[in-house]
Amino acid sequence: MGQTLRLVDPPVLWVVVEAGKPTPEAAAALRRTAVMHRYVGCCEKLNASSAADIDDLRPHQMNAALELVENHRLDGIVYFAHEEGVYSLELFHRLRQIRRFGTWPVPVISENTKDGMVLEGPVCKQNQVVGWHTSEDSSKLRRFHVAMSGFAFNSTMLWDPKLRSHLAWNSIRHPDTVKEGFQGTTFVEQLVEDESQMEGVPADCSHIMNWHVPFGSENLAYPKGWRVGTNLDMIIPLK
Q: Are 100 and 199 in contact (CB under 8 A)?
A: yes
Residues contacting 39, CB < 8 A, separation 6+: 16, 18, 22, 26, 27, 30
> Looking at domain 84-239, which of 3.40.50.300, 3.40.50.720, 3.90.550.10, 3.30.43.10 is its CATH number?
3.90.550.10
From residue 86, alpha-carbon distances to 4, 57, 92 in Å are 9, 21, 12
When the pLDDT of each residue in the chain is averaged and rounded to a whole number, the result is: 86
**What's the pTM value of the predicted model, to 2 decimals?**
0.86
Please determine, for residue 234, whether its predicted confidence score (pLDDT) is greater than 70. no
Collapsing DSSP to helix, strand or coil, 111 comes out as coil
Indicate where the chain has its CATH 3.90.550.10 domain(s). Answer: 84-239
- The pLDDT tens digits of the residues spanning 172-226 come to 999 888 887 788 999 999 999 999 999 999 999 999 999 998 876 555 555 555 5
Q: Which residue has the higher pLDDT, 75 or 114?
A: 75
The gap from C-alpha 72 to its chain's centroid, in whole angstroms, comes to 21
What pLDDT does residue 52 have? 47
- 110 — alpha (psi -120 to 50), left (phi > 0) or beta? beta
